Amino acid sequence: DDDTVYTVQILMSDTGGGHRASANALRDAFDVLHPGKFECDIVDIYTEYGPFWPFNGYVQGYKLMAKYPWTWDLFFRFGETDFGLWLNEFLLTTFCYEPFKECMNRPSRSTNKRADMVVSVHPLCQDLPLKILKDLDGGKERTTPFVTVVTDLGGAHKTWFNAGVDKCFVPSDALNKKAQSRGLDPKTQIVQYGLPIRKGFWSTTTNAESSQQSTSNKKRIPFFSKPKNIINDKVSSNSKDKLREQLGLEQDLPTCLVVGGGDGMGGIVPISSALGKKLGSMNDDDDDDDDDDDDDDCPNYQMVVVCGSNKEAKSTLENMDFGPGVQINVQGFVNNMDEWMNAADCLVTKAGPGTIAEASICGLPCMLFAYLPGQEEGNVPYVENAGFGKYSGNPEVIADTVFSWLSSPETMESMKEAALKAARPSATLDIARDMADIAFSAKTKSSTKEKVLVAVR
Ligand code: UDP
């Protein structure tokens, strides 16, 4: 039926930027695949429906713990013990069952009924929502589809995985294994495409081949209908030269992009300063045999620093002198990260899953400088084993490593290839397409059942 609108409730909480970003990406993918057919209700269920602290204070709590990573480490690890898992479920069931049930029962705009399908993009939105859904479905068995889309990359908390889901979409081999170790069936429940990421990264100048690669060595046919045109449009217009011109960057300089987390955390000032000084000191020797004084002022490298919402870092770096060898461009929070990444040659960043997946799509070698213990720890081997990056917490080592990359075209090329090989630019559309199929078949099933019931009556 052409007028049918399918309603999907996406459960998350804004602990870190990635959950909402993934939810928005999935909503955008539905819109591209089936324009006007899907209505997504994206809800921070803890903040909006948590009855009292700490349940409605997870966002601030997470921010605070991320500032003092050892506290997060402790919390994460305790939460993975049998007792921690039990306690979490006990507390949530005791205090959040009714308010969360109200959330999951809320009417959708277009149908005025609760959602046809529930999706979790958060580690704490499996166990209790699954119980509630069964209850809402009459108490005997759950009929409303429920899927998990894991938004971590190389590591993830145990609570992401509940064997009661219809599907669990995982982005990497490591998380595929972890899902299996939590009792999910690799044949019927676990699906591995990649991380859902923003629309700007679904297609880039450089990912055309990698999209074919990623789909041929994974179990999926490539996505070929409508978005192919979107991909081609993008490929033709977003050449690196054009992007550099648009962004006010120098055309021919090896360019390094430094990015903090979405909130600018992770020591971006000492790292940018060490790297800037290293690159800034690199023109004198090169120009030794050149008598023209002007050449001494010509930079040989370019460094862009995206400080996110960290205003203090931005003004500190803007007022710093790095030497004539490097051209510096300092940005605050940018909304066009896909353009900055496509204009760059390599990336220095904290090990955030979204940023790594985006960089990999753009073919950027990654120097990782920080990670959150727990779920981000696995992102380091994810990048290192795939061959497109290294980790160090030491600003001098970071500066030396990045300099050695930028001055070796062969290294850059092989790391770029490795990054593209690991990239999964069609993941978001692949996941949304599978989810849409689940919603379609659930609706068909339920309407057949209704017809049978009417006939029997
Ligand atoms: N980001 C952005 N603009 C900025 C800085 C970061 O759009 O100025 C985006 C970045 O592209 C990525 C997200 O913020 O998509 C950060 O997500 P990630 O999973 O890497 O780390 P988190 O901040 O969630 O820990």
**Does ipTM come in above 0.95?**
yes
Q: Is the CB of 17 under 6 A from ligand 1?
A: yes
Residue 223 three-state SS:
coil
Using most ligand atoms within 8 A of CB, pick from 337, 360, 361, 383 the residue to mutate for ligand 1: 337
Q: pLDDT tens string for the chain (457 positions)?
A: 578 999 999 999 999 889 999 999 999 999 999 999 999 999 999 999 999 999 999 999 999 999 899 999 999 999 999 999 999 999 999 999 999 999 999 999 999 999 999 999 999 999 999 999 999 999 999 999 999 999 999 999 999 999 999 999 999 999 999 999 999 999 999 999 999 999 999 964 333 334 344 433 344 434 433 343 344 344 334 589 999 999 999 999 999 999 986 555 568 999 999 999 999 998 655 544 544 545 567 899 999 999 988 899 999 999 999 999 999 999 999 999 999 999 999 999 999 999 999 999 999 999 999 999 999 999 999 999 999 999 999 999 999 999 999 999 999 999 999 999 999 999 999 999 999 999 999 988 887 877 887 887 7
Q: Pull the structure tokens for residue 137.
A: 């479905």
Cα(147)–Cα(121) distance, integer angstroms:
9
Q: What is the dihedral of CA 304, 362, 413, 235, to 10 degrees?
A: -110
Q: What is the pLDDT of residue 371?
A: 94
**Residue nearest atom 20 in ligand 1 by C-alpha distance:** 352
Cα(279)–Cα(326) distance, integer angstroms:
6
Pick from 159, 162, 171, 369: nearest CA to 259: 369
Look at the chain and count its residues. 457
Using most ligand atoms within 8 A of CB, pick from 63, 153, 355, 372 the residue to mutate for ligand 1: 355
Q: Pull the structure tokens for residue 411.
A: 């290294």
Q: What is the pLDDT of residue 15?
A: 95
Q: What is the pLDDT of residue 226?
A: 37
Ligand 1 atom closest to the CA of 263, numbered from 1: 23
Residue where the block lists tokens 């999951």: 104
Ligand 1 atom closest to the CA of 332, numbered from 1: 8
**Residue nearest atom 15 in ligand 1 by C-alpha distance:** 354
Measure 137 CA to ligand 1 centroid, in angstroms: 37
Measure 288 CA to ligand 1 centroid, in angstroms: 41
Measure 350 CA to ligand 1 centroid, in angstroms: 10
Cα(85)–Cα(81) distance, integer angstroms:
6
Burial pattern 335-366, b for ≥16 Cβ within 10 A else e, equals eebbbbbbbbbbbbbbbbbbbbbbbbbbbbbb
Measure 353 CA to ligand 1 centroid, in angstroms: 9
Residue where the block lists tokens 């705009």: 109
Q: Is the CB of 306 under 6 A from ligand 1?
A: yes
Pick from 158, 153, 97: nearest CA to 124: 158
Q: Is the CB of 373 under 6 A from ligand 1?
A: no
Cα(202)–Cα(132) distance, integer angstroms:
34
Q: Is the CB of 5 under 6 A from ligand 1?
A: no
Q: What is the pLDDT of residue 216?
A: 37
Q: What is the dihedral of CA 92, 95, 98, 103, to 10 degrees?
A: -60
Q: Pull the structure tokens for residue 214.
A: 């990623």
Q: What is the pLDDT of residue 235?
A: 39
